[in-house]
């Protein structure tokens, strides 16, 4: 882990789209491996996202793909 203090930012860049590489079930939920493309033109490759069963309940879904969308900020109109 880094010894650096976290920086506070007002806002970041939006996620343009993402690709699900792998979904692994765990005792507490899911580990998801993603490639994420940002609106800034940069990308995050092989990024790990952890979603718990409790997170899915909060998103009111049992589908992990829907949970990923909600966790990344893709909400329906």
Residue numbers of the domain that contains 67: 15-71
* Distance of alpha carbon 55 from alpha carbon 51, whole angstroms: 6
pLDDT at 6: 73
Average pLDDT over the chain, rounded to whole? Answer: 91
Is residue 46 situated within a structural domain? yes
Residues 75/60, Cβ–Cβ less than 8 Å = no
Q: What is the pTM of this model?
A: 0.81
Is residue 8 situated within a structural domain? no
Is residue 35 situated within a structural domain? yes
If you average pLDDT over residues 35-40, what whole number do you get? 95
pLDDT at 77: 58
How many domains are contained in the chain?
Answer: 1
* Confidence category of residue 39, pLDDT binned at 50, 70, 90: very high
Helix, strand or coil, per DSSP, at residue 31:
strand
Is residue 5 situated within a structural domain? no
């Amino acid at each position: 882990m880094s010894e650096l203090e976290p920086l506070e930012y007002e806002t970041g860049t939006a996620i343009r789209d993402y690709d699900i590489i792998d979904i692994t079930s765990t005792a507490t939920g899911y580990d998801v491996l993603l490639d994420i493309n940002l609106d800034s033109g940069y990308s995050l490759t092989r990024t790990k996202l952890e979603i718990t069963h409790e997170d899915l309940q909060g998103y009111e879904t049992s589908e992990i793909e829907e949970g990923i969308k909600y966790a990344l900020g893709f909400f329906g109109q």
